Structure 1
Amino acid sequence: MLKIVLVVLLAFLVQYVFKTLPNDIVATGDNSFLVSNDGGAQTVLANAIEMLTGFFKGGLVYYDGKKTQYLLENTVANGIILSRDRKTLFVSHINQETIGVFAWNQEKVSIRKISEIETLTGCDNFYIDQENNLWSGCHPVLKDAVGHLGDATNPSLFSQSQVLRFKFSSDLKTAEMVEVFSDDGRFTSASAIAATFDNGKQLLIGTVFRDLTHCDIDVPLDF
């Protein structure tokens, strides 16, 4: 019983003592934007408490140029991106290893959940290609990513990397996933974003702290 009480008290400490932790931002107008918070803490200890207790204090916030409004609360919101037609919002819930898919209404400043895609990996940030496929740099072993990010200058610490491409169904309720890149971290450590160019023939993989990786894509990704 005492342990449960201590956990609850620590969770409230995270919520009320520490600040939010912005992660990603998407412009929605000249003076407005969406911003994700992947936690309610700005220290390693407080972030660890959030993850261990499950009392996540991150979320999604909209700013219209004058005031802010929460669209998602008490969750983990990491990478965010709008579809090319600006009607669909994708949110990475990295700790839950899912991607939330939401209908975005700019006029009403509201979101409606369409689906939640299980990824079995920690998706970080997003890119949408010309064919409306969603790309993500991912952390397949989150505990190794946490260790690497906590001591990024240590060359002996690295984190596995993965790039996934998601092709969504027309109703956005399901997605086909293709693993385009995978590495144990010694070549590309902690992949955070992936983007294609040259008509999908080339791929850039950005990492959290280390070098950019440039790849050729010379195999078909649709089966």
Structure 2
Amino acid sequence: MTDEEIKLFSHSSLICDNHLYNDGELTTDFSTIEYLMSIAPQFGDVFFSCKWTLQNQSCHNFFTPMLTEEGLCFTFNMLDKTELLRNNVFLHDENYMSHGMKADGWTLEDGYPKTTSKDTYPRRALSAGFSAGFFLLLTAYEQDLDYVCKGPVQGFKILLHNPAEIPRVGMQYFRAPLNQEVVVAVKPDMMTTSDGLRGYDPHRRNCFFPSERHLAYYQSYTQQNCQVECLANFTLERCGCVAYHMPRK
């Protein structure tokens, strides 16, 4: 291969399993991110049809592209970058992770205000069952299937996450195989902490209220956001750089 081909192959290997190639350069620049975005399946190639509460709508109304450790992904119902990230986070594109819809008073700790209408953001399910849910018809092209990068299993990785968190697709997901219908039922398990415990030291009650913990990159404190930030800080301290998908200044 030419030097240019080796460089692009090295970029591609960042989203493949480690067996493929690990002799690339130690660091990358923003051309790497642009390249990964350009070779990923584009929006119109992935989403064929979308229904929210059984109403046909354009998929562009629902999804926002973003980079994860798995490459380019599309996220539904996540907060806009202005409400998710702090101003010190550097983004390679001003439109990245931006959809322009503001949360109508919703917070992770308190939920929706009582005065919120049914048509709000983040979108909420108004009842149980298929008719109140989200329907997707996804497409994949045979010439795009790659059995070397990620192994023999093909299909889509889908992750459920709350609107105030960054999806970590490499950590937990379920798979939607090709040529199959997958129906997912979400059964929430909600754990709350009494306000009467606010007077206790966080280390004594063994948890933080979101308002008690300031994160450098994220506006909402959650355990997962904290873990992502800690991993980015540790990587920066140990290696002098962070992975292309991590938050950074």
Q: Which has the larger radius of gyration?
A: 2
TM-score interval (norm. to shorter): under 0.3
Higher helix share: 2
Higher strand share: 1
Using CA pairs below 8 Å that are at least 6 residues apart, which structure has the higher relative contact order? 2
Q: Give the TM-score taking structure 2 as reference length.
A: 0.25
Q: Give the TM-score taking structure 1 as reference length.
A: 0.27
